Chains A and B, each alone.
Chain A
Amino acid sequence: MSRLIDKKLSRRRFIGTSTCALAGVGLASQGRVLRALATSEEPLSGKLGDNRDVFTACGMCVNKCGVIARVRDGRIYKLDPNPEYLKSRGMLCARGNAGLNQVYDPDRLKYPLIRVGERGEGKWRRASWEEALDLVAKKMNEIAEKHTRAGVMFASTEGTFQEHFFLQMAECFGSPNTVRHPTLCLSSNIQGFSATFGTYPSADILNSDYIIMAGANRSEALLTPDSIDQLKGDGGRRKLVYLDPRFTKTAAKADEWYPIKPGTDMAFVLAMIHVIIGEGLYAKDFVATTTVGFDELAAHVQQYSPEWAEQHCQIAAADIRRVAREFAKAAPKALFYPGRRSSFADDDVQLRRAMAIVNAIVGSWDTEGGLVPNSVIPLSKHDYLAPWYDDVPERIDKDSAVFLSEKDGSWTAMRDRILAADPYAIKGMMVYKQNLVMSVPNRAKTLKMMKQMDFICTIDICMSDTAWLSDVVLPEATYLERQDPLESLSGVVPVVAFRQPCVEAMFESKPCLWIMQNLAKRLGSEIAETFDFTMDEHIHHQVSKNPQILKDLKKKGVYYLKVEPSYGLTQGKRLKTKSGKIELYSENYASKGLDPMPVFRPHAEVPPGKFRLLVGRNAYFTHGTTANNAFLHELMPENSLWLNPQAAQKLGLRNGQPVKVKSAVGEGVLRLEVTDKIRPDCVYMAHGFGVLSKGQSLIYGRGACDAALIEDALEPISGNVAMHQTFVDVSPA
């Protein structure tokens, strides 16, 4: 529910009202916030005359775009895009611009806090770093003593560039139980494409003439450079075909939009393959030299005609046939976009396989305008010798998925095992900036799991829901206050990024490395030794083989080797698949009892009277982390429930009225937004609202939390969660 729509009217209305009423809105300008912060307990670190332009990398989402921080009188007054930074194409989005409010946010964490009331009651006392870290070390050791070191789990964010130190702590402390976000995001995608190509490629959107996007809302779920290239490369020759049950802003920009029935994308793709092979439109030489299993595939897809697909995905057979022909004709400058977040249905790996295969058979591989394997600029790794512990068992979620990532785990499978203490107990949680209460589906289970913990410590910059339910909360310095290690960002054109402090860290906030080093000291010399380095030493070691990287970063905020993509680097070389070729048929999958080629099996239908709950991004928020940012908050102060007018009429519901949404695992109340922008059998709400934490003062009490409603179905090959398999009731609140 974007609120800037009505602003013209509202301004005119406001003219008639008194100034007092206006002032009563109660939102302070940044100037006022700064003054308030400056007159609170501690002064701002800034000095008059401290004017600098500082190169750094954005930390508001996963993209790490190039930023120039304009520091005036010791304060960051503006974040500007770095025009040299290739990956972000010299732009900065709303979130990137709003980043300065992370630093000057009155809600930010200022000091270490120790819980004094019940968990979630919000009663804290300020503690010194010494006391807080002493307590964390004591609790970690106590739990390790009682339950082995695997009894402490480590949940980590990524993209801060300092998560490596947190994961190093997990390894050196001796717990195998690390968990990160991929199984809430793209693990099925990586698995499906890697099983086919041996790697997860990028899409050369800028140079592509024909793009099909399914389940990737690139005009709102911004990904650099893809989101930008999607419009930039268009000179009237580009065609964008977009499949989504919602009319998103990508749909508004697409040449064709099809409100596909959720969970049936695979039927669409298989029918495309059927047409392309059946009509002989595939890249015959490419298929013969570069792929394996074409004959099996050709036989397999005979059953999947467009007429068959129409019955499932509700897109006309004639359209499927035409799109398939146009796609093959535009190839190899055509791509079926891989997308990123792929946590939709429990057969998602096979859907991604199908998407990879349709690209492969038209030769959209390692070529201009097609899929391109990523390149990466090497940096020297920080080596350390992790202490060895004899009695530590394997990961608690071992074997919960066919291809489980050793470092990332499977979030929901892991949570189930923890709840059942199967095969052992986990009683301690260390959390680094991951807001798991908000991001892992079925919040009730997450809360139950946390209740089971003897100790929870969260490092964050704000009082997230996860921090709110912790025992110790440690304030991290924001990305604009930290020196971070260099990070090599892979892509069609890879770059190296870094962050340098634009201003001194405010209050008592500290970077993750400092926190880990000082925690390590308390956990014993063996662990402390692995952290015996400074950030400066670490960075110089990273560039020891190529010092030019650091020089360029200091001079222009980014390092790159080339500005144009290179194509065909894998030509004639072995791919990282079992056969060394593109696997249309996967022997590896067959040997594990999985379908060697994607087989469509219909999903459960929406029960009468219910709706399928959809999730999806907007360009204003990064998951559950930025809705409380004052700049972004006013773009979307709360979420709403999208419902098609037909369905609303049937239920007798009016636009704007509060409604109760109820699933098998939870419920929530939010305002109804009656809109044609969604299929009549689905509802949608934005992520990031319905928070539990009163430490998020702008959004507390506003909207509903999707994680409370979504059930936790599992994709068994990758361990990814399936977020589009929840049915809900909608009724007046």
Chain B
Amino acid sequence: MKTKRYAIVLDTRRCIDCKACTVACKAENDVPLGEDKHRNWVTQEPLRGTFPNLGQSFSPSQCNQCANPPCNSVCPTSATGITPEGIVTVNADKCIGCKYCMLACPYDARYYNEETGVIDKCTFCIQRVAVGRIPACVETCPTKVRVFGDLNDPESEVSLLLAKHRYTVLKPELGTKPFLYYLI
């Protein structure tokens, strides 16, 4: 059987900025409380226009699970690794909390967890995926902004979405090869 290649496809037009994903992630992954501690987030984009002609978008995001992750190459202790399914992980035993990876990540997806002394980030809820479940942010979302799946399976929902719709990735010019796809 072919190895899986996990990805998340986001349709941000559905996002209502309710923050269910952020709280679900914090609970699932025991992320410490505090505004700057989070594995995923929703950014309120600046208001467009002036009263009464206004528009606003909401941009949910998290670790892009890059195929070519800058956080990996700067890590002095090889704490960062990539699973065969493409999930970028942090080995807590090896991490010394030096924060190089935080500076290297162009998506600001990593944070320092004082409780563990380790840099932490989204792992697509690897503990859930391992037992056949989907990431907490995907499952809990009221409007189903995110779809999680295997890009190596041409019949998977993520593959079908990317086949059918136009999409973009964040900062493609950096060559990080993200696996978070945004429908446009």
Listed in ascending order, the chain A residues whose CB lies under 8 Å from chain B are 2-5, 7-8, 10-12, 14-15, 19, 22-23, 25, 27-32, 77-81, 89-94, 96-98, 100, 219-220, 222, 227-228, 231-232, 247, 249-253, 257-259, 619-620, 630-632, 634-635, 637, 644-646, 675-680
- B32 and A29: CB pair below 8 A? yes
Closest residue on chain B to residue A81 by CB atoms = B140
Contact B16–A253 (Cβ < 8 Å): yes
A13, closest chain B residue (CB): B36
List the B side residues contacting A251 at CB < 8 Å. 54
B33 and A28 contacting across the interface, CB-CB below 8 Å: yes
Q: Write the B10-49 contact mask toward A (1 if CB under 8 angstroms, else 0).
A: 0000101111101110111011111110100111100101
**Which 4 pairs across A and B sit closest by C-beta, in order of nearness?**
A29-B32, A619-B18, A219-B16, A97-B23
Having A78-B24, A676-B51, one finds 5 other A-B pairs with CB under 8 Å, namely A4-B38, A78-B27, A219-B16, A632-B23, A645-B51
Q: Is the CB of A619 within 8 A of B102?
A: no
Q: CA of A634 to CA of B18 in the docked complex: distance in angstroms? A: 13
The answer to whether A31 and B30 have CB atoms under 8 Å apart is: yes
Q: Are A27 and B143 in contact, with the CB atoms below 8 A?
A: no
In angstroms, Cα B15 to Cα A38, docked, is 38
Give chain A residues whose Cβ lies under 8 Å from the Cβ of B140.
80-81, 91-93, 96-97
Interchain CB contact under 8 A, B142 and A91 = yes
- Which residues of chain A are within 8 angstroms of B99 by Cβ–Cβ distance? 15
Residues of B within 8 A of A31 (CB): 30, 32, 115
Contact with A along B96-139 (1 / 0, CB 8 A): 00010011000010011011000000000000000000001001
- The B54-91 residues at the A interface (CB cut-off 8 A) are 54-58
- Taking the complex as formed, is B183 at the interface, i.e. its CB lies under 8 A from any CB of chain A? no
Give complex CA distance A14, B51 in Å: 35
Q: How far is the CB of A674 from chain B (nearest CB, A)?
A: 11
Closest chain-A Cβ to B30's Cβ sits at a distance in Å of: 6
Interface residue total, chain B, C-beta cutoff 8 A: 49
Q: Is B172 an interface residue (CB 8 A)?
A: no
Q: Which residue of A lies closest to B113 (CB)?
A: A29
**Given the interface contacts A2-B44, A4-B43, A11-B102, does A94 sit within 8 Å of B18 by beta carbon?**
yes
Query: Which residues on the B side are within 8 Å of A12 (C-beta)?
Result: 108
Q: Of B35, B115, B142, which is within 8 A of A89 by CB?
A: B142
Residues on B with C-beta less than 8 A from A92 are: 20, 24, 140
Q: How far is the CB of A637 from chain B (nearest CB, A)?
A: 8
Cβ contact within 8 Å between B144 and A232: yes
Residue pair A222, B142 in contact (C-beta under 8 Å): yes
Complex: how many Å from CA A100 to CA B36?
21
| Interface presence of B141 (CB below 8 A) | yes
Q: Pick 17 A–B contacts, CB within 8 A, sort by A.
A: A2-B44, A23-B114, A30-B33, A31-B30, A91-B144, A92-B24, A93-B20, A94-B19, A98-B27, A219-B18, A220-B16, A228-B143, A249-B17, A259-B51, A630-B33, A634-B33, A635-B22
B27 adjacent to A4 (CB under 8 Å): no
Question: Are B30 and A631 in contact, with the CB atoms below 8 A?
Answer: no
Interface residues of B in 126-184 (CB under 8 A from A): 136, 139-144
In the bound complex, residues from chain A placing their C-beta under 8 Å from that of B111 are 11
Asked if B108 and A93 make an inter-chain contact with CB atoms under 8 angstroms apart, the answer reads: no
Whole-angstrom distance between the alpha carbons of A637 and B18 in the complex? 15
Instruction: Enumerate chain B residues within 8 angstroms of A96, measured Cβ to Cβ.
Output: 20, 140
For B17, the chain A residues whose CB sits under 8 A away are 2, 249, 619
Q: Which residues of A contact B31 (CB under 8 A)?
A: 29
Asked if A97 and B20 sit within 8 Å, CB to CB, the answer is yes
Judging by beta carbons under 8 Å apart, are B51 and A680 in contact? yes
Give chain B nearest CB distance to A631 CB in angstroms.
5
Chain A CB within 10 Å, residue with most, of B24, B54, B115, B141: B24
Indicate if the CB atoms of A7 and B141 lie closer than 8 Å. no
Whether B47 contacts A675 by the Cβ 8 Å rule is: yes
A residues within 8 A CB of B14?
231-232
Give the shortest distance, in Å, between A16 (CB) and chain B (any CB).
10
Q: How far is the CB of B69 from chain A (nearest CB, A)?
A: 17
How many Å lie between the Cα of A79 and that of B58 in the bound state?
25
Min CB–CB distance B35 → chain A (angstroms): 5
Identity of the chain B residue whose Cβ is nearest the Cβ of A637 in the assembled complex: B35
Structural contact, B38 and A249, CB atoms closer than 8 A: no
| B45 CB to nearest chain A CB (Å) | 9
| Nearest neighbor of A227 in chain B, beta-carbon distance | B142
Question: B16 contacts which chain A residues (CB < 8 A)?
Answer: 219-220, 227, 231, 249-250, 252-253, 619
Closest A-chain residue to B32, C-beta based?
A29
The distance in angstroms between the C-alpha atoms of A242 and B43, with both chains bound, is 23
Contact: A94 with B23, CB < 8 Å? yes
Complex CA gap A30/B30 in Å reads 7
In the bound complex, residues from chain A placing their C-beta under 8 Å from that of B18 are: 93-94, 219-220, 222, 619-620
Q: Which of A22, A94, A259 has the largest number of chain B CB atoms within 10 A? A: A94
Instruction: List chain B residues, Cβ under 8 A from A27.
Output: 32-34
User: Using Cβ atoms and an 8 Å threshold, which residues of chain B touch A25?
Assistant: 34
CB distance from B20 to the nearest CB of A (A): 5
- Residues in A neighbouring B44, C-beta threshold 8 A: 2, 5
Taking CB as reference atom, which chain A residue is nearest B46? A5
Q: Decide if B19 touches A11 in the complex (CB within 8 Å).
A: no
Whether B102 lies near A631 (C-beta < 8 A) is no
Of A10, A32, A219, which is in contact with the most chain B CB atoms at under 10 Å from its CB?
Answer: A219
Q: B35's contact among A7, A23, A619, by CB below 8 Å, is which?
A: A7
| Cβ distance B157 to chain A, nearest Cβ, rounded Å | 15
The minimal Cβ–Cβ distance linking B54 to chain A, given in whole angstroms, is 5
Q: Is the beta-carbon distance between B50 and A676 smaller than 8 angstroms?
A: yes
How far, in angstroms, from A228 to B15 measured CA to CA in the complex?
A: 11
| Residue of A whose beta carbon sits closest to that of B52 | A259
